[in-house]
Amino acid sequence: MRGQVPIDKWRDERLSAAERAEALIPLMTLEEKVAQLVGVWVGADASGGGVAPHQADMAGVEWSDVIAHGLGQLTRPFGTAPVDPVAGARSLAASQAQIVAVSRFGIPAQVHEECLTGFAAWRATVYPAPLSWGASFDPELIEEVAGRIGRSLRAAGVHQGLAPVLDVTRDYRWGRTEETIGEDPYLVGTVGAAYVRGIEGAGVVATLKHFAGYSASRGGRNHAPAHMGGRELADVILPPFEMALRLGGARSVMNSYAEIDGLPAAADEGLLTRLLREEWGFAGTVVADYFSIRFLHKLHGVAAEAADAAGLALRAGIDVELPTVDTFGAPLIEAVKSGQVDEALVDRALARVLAQKAELGLLDEDWKPLPGEAADVRLDDEESQELALRLARESIVLVRNTGVLPLAPGRRVALVGPVADDPMAMLGCYAFPAHVGPHPEHGLGLDLPSLREALGALIPDLTYEPGCGITGDDTSGFAAAVAAAAESDVCVLAVGDRAGLFGRGTSGEGCDATDLRLPGVQSELVRAVLATGTPVVLVLLAGRPYALGPEFDAAEAVVHGFFPGQRGGQALAEVLTGAVNPSGRLPVSVPRDAGGLPATYLSPWLGRRTEVSSVDPTPAYPFGHGLSYTTFAWEPLDTGAAEWPVDGEVTVGVSVRNTGARAGAEVVQLYLHDPVAQTTRPVVRLVGYARVPLEAGQAARVEFTVPADAASFTGVRGRRIVEPGDVELRFGRSSGEATTDAPATVPLRLTGAEREVGHDRHLLVTARITREGAG
């Protein structure tokens, strides 16, 4: 039958992707068009023979029926159940062969998978969670990690990765805080863009999530309404998406579940079409977050039935319904035939979908389901694990240290706490073992050392007591834990989270918190162990910052790991023993009060401590904070800058010297302080940073070239402007230091007339590091 179709023009690789798509659309029936706008949730058959048995039970449709007119996407064939990677690749190839053979045009499906902490497949390397990316302050390393993830996806026949998450943390109680990169839009944007470059550079479509406002939900509850003003949306929420599109080249965007001021993102034409496409110039695909189109009917109540929901989503700008065929199936077809939905909207979405398939080679005559042989598919190898270890080492944050760390050789060490011997405490909720759930008959599928195993390899005679569970109120283990601590020279006390989905964990999607106390009775365990008088090193393995109020001040040291991945146990053990010098910085502030919420560092003066409120939101440890086992001295560089044209740039800098006895890395942070503006501004906000590794005694000049666009904000008329007036560029080791005791401050005057800027503004502050010899 395929031979009867005039295929020459849309198969012609000399034409542009858009031209090929436009040539194909008139040849297609309505059913064939709509089939390209849906995904089907499939699971690979463990035998390698195609879609998994009982597929209809999962997808709600018969496989033969759903592929009869073609198919837009295959949803998560590797991320549904444990399947050997080689068998999974063969099964996917067999499924694609069926799609090509049965449908009239023989177009394969675009395959997508989750890849937030690595390819979310059994036996795939698990990298640190996104908060750890932010803690590294190392976009170059994140790009390298993403490139490796992208290559593993591509080798298995996957075309699209559903990452990165670019939601800026607004309320730490939100369960998906662990999936975010941090609480600052510049950090999220630069690191997120680096991840996109890595994935896209491997030939895989990166999908930006969740557009937009999801993280600002009321009360930190998943799917709760997000009530914010236009300025918060424009100045905090949207910039990372702009950066990932312009600086990263992402080719797909996923809508948010959020509703802002009563308008769900999935039905927001102003967001998905006028802003994203007409103002920003995005030409890729918008894919629906799972079931979000149906939610317009079921949860939001803005659509009376499935067909209404489909029409709203299409008009807003959603191109593909995921994860499986629903409103874009029979309801949409009937709505188009009845005139309820204009077929031109279907054609508009189809043109984008087919153009992307053309870019991926899926319209080519010589397309193959796998770039190589299925036998070559390896998702976890030594090089990938070493890369995961590098990132884990850079992401561990030494938050407090009175001198007890690194642990001195020969000291008696007790390891206590519910996450100390729990390998799963290293993994975020989108790692395969946590996301898909336990399959005891298959095992974890990877080597995943716990902190106890890794630290025990470095410290002989390490004693261990769990003390309590991660959740629950059982304190029967307290006595043994307290005794172990009392009989030791130092106690490493490991507390934190277990990631999961929808209530199966203490962190993760649908695992929101009512306050920021440690789960279960862990706080009581900490107090009991501190009361022994034994020096305590408090280790947090968590997906959010928990409050470290005055009752925890007695800890001699605090170390934070934000789900540091498959090799996180080793990285932590190396930091604790001094084999690795910690260099991570907090991507989120650590609160002092478990209930003084929400309060990230991006606050105007009235969001800080004031005399008119009894609540002090000052964090225990601010965004950007982190310590080292060496010391660094900073000196301002005289760049002679005084005036800063509103359409120009300025160069400022500091000299940084490693004044300690060992190599280390400093993270130089540059903040903007705008004391008087037409709208209230954060006291300080990050505009640049540089990670600076230095040998003992070595110094470096760190200079930032800052475009005036970095000082822009949304003014009183709702447009982004650069406003003339006095500002300061402040250097700091954290946002807190930049606020109260900056080691270098450059006062500047923005000169000229008020200037409006748009999507073409300069987004990046560039850093130049010039190293000098040891002093």
Task: Kindly report, residue by residue over 343-380, the tens digit of the pLDDT.
Answer: 999 999 999 999 999 999 999 999 988 877 766 788 99
CA distance 540 to 536: 13
Who has greater pLDDT, 87 or 8? 87
CA distance 320 to 583: 42
In the prediction, which pLDDT does 774 show?
A: 59
Percent pLDDT > 70 in the chain is 96
Is the C-alpha dihedral spanning 635, 640, 643, 648 positive or negative? negative
Per-residue model confidence as pLDDT tens digits over 604-629: 999 889 889 888 899 999 999 999 99
Distances (CA, A) of 505 to 429, 500, 520, 623: 9, 4, 12, 26
3-state class (DSSP) for residue 738: helix
How many Å from the N-terminal Cα to the C-terminal Cα in the chain?
Answer: 77
Say if strands 632-636 and 557-561 run parallel, antiparallel, or are unpaired.
unpaired
In the prediction, which pLDDT does 53 show?
A: 46
In the prediction, which pLDDT does 42 show?
A: 81
User: Using 50, 70 and 90 to split pLDDT, how confident is the model at 158?
Assistant: very high
In the prediction, which pLDDT does 2 show?
A: 44
Which ranges of 202-276 would DSSP assign to H, the alpha helix? Answer: 230-232, 239-243, 269
Q: Smallest Cα–Cα separation from 522: which of 407, 416, 662, 377?
A: 416
Say if strands 263-264 and 285-287 run parallel, antiparallel, or are unpaired.
unpaired
In this predicted structure, the answer to whether residue 170 has a pLDDT above a threshold of 50 is yes
Of the listed ranges 110-124, 584-598, 679-693, the least confidently predicted one is 584-598
Of the listed ranges 59-63, 79-83, 385-389, the least confidently predicted one is 59-63
Percent pLDDT > 90 in the chain is 87
Q: Apex CA 494: angle with CA 493 and CA 498, to 5°?
A: 155
Q: Smallest Cα–Cα separation from 687: which of 712, 659, 662, 716?
A: 712
In the prediction, which pLDDT does 7 show?
A: 54
Torsion of CA 414, 415, 418, 419, to 10 degrees: 170
Per-residue model confidence as pLDDT tens digits over 722-755: 999 999 999 999 999 999 999 999 999 999 999 9
User: Using 50, 70 and 90 to split pLDDT, how confident is the model at 212?
Assistant: very high
In the prediction, which pLDDT does 54 show?
A: 44
In this predicted structure, the answer to whether residue 57 has a pLDDT above a threshold of 60 is no
In the prediction, which pLDDT does 630 show?
A: 98
In the prediction, which pLDDT does 716 show?
A: 97
Whats the size of the chain, residue-wise? 775
In the prediction, which pLDDT does 79 show?
A: 86
In the prediction, which pLDDT does 373 show?
A: 74
Distances (CA, A) of 636 to 425, 633, 652, 668, 743: 42, 10, 9, 12, 8
User: Using 50, 70 and 90 to split pLDDT, how confident is the model at 3?
Assistant: very low
- The average pLDDT across 657-662 equals 97
Bridge partners (DSSP) of residue 287 are 254, 320
Q: Smallest Cα–Cα separation from 733: which of 634, 637, 602?
A: 634
229 contacts: CB under 8 Å, gap ≥ 6: none
Mark 582-604 as b/e (b = at least 16 C-beta within 10 Å). Answer: bbbbbbbbbbbbbebbbbbbbbe
In this predicted structure, the answer to whether residue 500 has a pLDDT above a threshold of 90 is yes
CA distance 445 to 451: 19
User: Using 50, 70 and 90 to split pLDDT, how confident is the model at 5?
Assistant: low
User: φ and ψ at 684, to 5 degrees?
Assistant: -140, 155
Which residue's entry shows tokens 């930049």?
738
In the prediction, which pLDDT does 1 show?
A: 40
In the prediction, which pLDDT does 51 show?
A: 57
DSSP state at residue 272: I
Contact in structure between 752 and 646 (CB atoms under 8 Å): yes
Per-residue model confidence as pLDDT tens digits over 319-331: 999 999 999 999 9
Contact in structure between 545 and 590 (CB atoms under 8 Å): yes
Per-residue model confidence as pLDDT tens digits over 440-496: 777 788 999 999 999 999 998 999 999 999 999 999 999 999 999 999 999 999 999
Which residue's entry shows tokens 């990938």?
384
Edge to edge, the sheet with strand 713-714 lists 713-714, 720-722, 755-756
User: Using 50, 70 and 90 to split pLDDT, how confident is the model at 59?
Assistant: low
DSSP state at residue 177: G
Q: What is the mean pLDDT of the chain?
A: 94
- The average pLDDT across 529-542 equals 98
User: Using 50, 70 and 90 to split pLDDT, how confident is the model at 597?
Assistant: confident
Contact in structure between 222 and 176 (CB atoms under 8 Å): yes
With 0-12 / 13-18 / 19 or more C-beta atoms within 10 angstroms meaning exposed / middle / buried, residue 679 is: middle
In the prediction, which pLDDT does 49 show?
A: 63
Edge to edge, the sheet with strand 643-645 lists 643-645, 744-751, 725-732, 664-673, 685-694
When computed from its CA atoms, the radius of gyration of the chain, rounded to whole angstroms, is: 26
Phi-psi region of 652 (alpha: psi -120 to 50; beta: other; left: phi over 0): beta
In the prediction, which pLDDT does 706 show?
A: 98
Bridge partners (DSSP) of residue 209 are 165
654 contacts: CB under 8 Å, gap ≥ 6: 634, 635, 636, 637, 668, 701, 702, 731, 743, 744
